[in-house]
Chain A
């Protein structure tokens, strides 16, 4: 019963992941990523990681996918959104990814001790996880929050920057009023 459910959810995850990399429309690809991440949350729930399943739904599907859709929408060109989404090296990419998968599957098959049941019955409870996060590993937790803050500040700074080579100075801007200021100085 469990293995049938796992097979269904795993197939759903893989199918949606393939759609993410194959669909030409990027908005649809982002939505398929949301579907794939939701199915992964189902796998987490099957593995007994209930807190992580909830965090996956809230953080990824609620946050990251929304952010990415905003990104696609603000940078889309109005003509030919789907154009040039495909590249020419599809055959080589298929070969590389299939070869890597065969290698990984061979390594997993050859490693002893992996044919154990995926869950030992006692999944980590959210209480145990919270205790571990905020008592045992509180320093790493705070470091992660500083990292997030730095990343978001950095993202805001990067996205605000203008390229001086492309920007056309407008009559009222600082670049246009500079000679006037220089002439006024002496």
Chain B
């Protein structure tokens, strides 16, 4: 298990998240993909921290975890607002302002 192996795993996770972000149309699906990408970033933090020693990598990951939780709360609230306004959670519906 080398550092480059964990970095490759994180890259693959991030690209899976990108794929989900581009294909999903429901708000929950997009939030799930964003979660995957944030998770990949955390893997990078932890693996660099473990290779370097010390606590800084894990510290970054802890703060990133807290920020991700806040992001999920706001994202779910926006989803509920979308559902209240349009009766569905597809993000295409939110493009109404363009017209």
Cα-based distance from A113 to B23 in the complex (angstroms): 36
Say how far A119's CB is from chain B's closest CB, in angstroms. Answer: 5
A94 CB contacts on chain B under 8 angstroms: 19
CB interface residues, B 4-35, toward A, < 8 Å: 4-9, 11-20, 22-26, 28-29, 31-33, 35
Residue of B51, B63, B73, B74 ringed by the most chain A CB atoms within 10 A: B73
- Nearest CB on B from A111, distance (A): 8
Chain B contact-residue range equals 35 or more
| A-B contact number at CB 8 A | 250
In Å, the complex CA distance between A83 and B17 comes to: 21
Residue of B nearest to A90 (CB): B23
Residues of A within 8 A of B94 (CB): none
* Nearest-neighbor residue (CB-CB) of B7 within chain A: A108
Q: Chain A 95-118, CB within 8 Å of chain B: the 1/0 string?
A: 011101100110011000011111
Encode contact with B along A105-135: 1 for CB under 8 Å, 0 otherwise.
1001100001111111011100011001100
B90 interface neighbour in A14, A84, A104, A128, Cβ under 8 Å = A84
- The interface residues of chain A lying within 8 Å CB-to-CB of B57 are 49, 124
Scan residues 132-164 of chain A and give those whose CB is less than 8 A from a CB of chain B: 132-133, 137, 140, 144-145, 147-148, 150-152, 154-156, 158-159, 161-163
**A166: which of B6, B11, B14, B84 is its contact (CB, 8 Å)?**
B84
Main secondary structure of the interface of A (DSSP, over half): helix
B58 and A129 within 8 A (CB): yes
In the bound complex, residues from chain A placing their C-beta under 8 Å from that of B25 are: 84-87
Contact B46 A158 (CB under 8 A): no
List A contacts of B76 (CB < 8 A): 67-68, 71, 155, 159
Interface residues of B in 60-99 (CB under 8 A from A): 61-63, 65-74, 76-81, 83-85, 87-90
Write out the residue numbers on chain A whose beta carbons fall within 8 Å of the beta carbon of B62.
52, 55, 129, 133
Residues of A that sit less than 8 Å from B by CB: 2-3, 6, 10, 13-14, 17-18, 20-21, 26, 29-30, 33, 36-37, 40, 43-44, 46-49, 51-52, 55-56, 59-60, 63-64, 67-68, 71-72, 74-75, 77, 84-87, 89-90, 92-94, 96-98, 100-101, 104-105, 108-109, 114-120, 122-124, 128-129, 132-133, 137, 140, 144-145, 147-148, 150-152, 154-156, 158-159, 161-163, 166
Cβ-closest 7 pairs across A and B = A21-B20, A151-B70, A93-B22, A155-B77, A104-B11, A97-B19, A159-B77
A-B contact pairs, 10 of them (CB 8 A): A13-B13, A14-B13, A29-B32, A46-B1, A75-B89, A97-B15, A97-B16, A120-B53, A129-B59, A154-B74
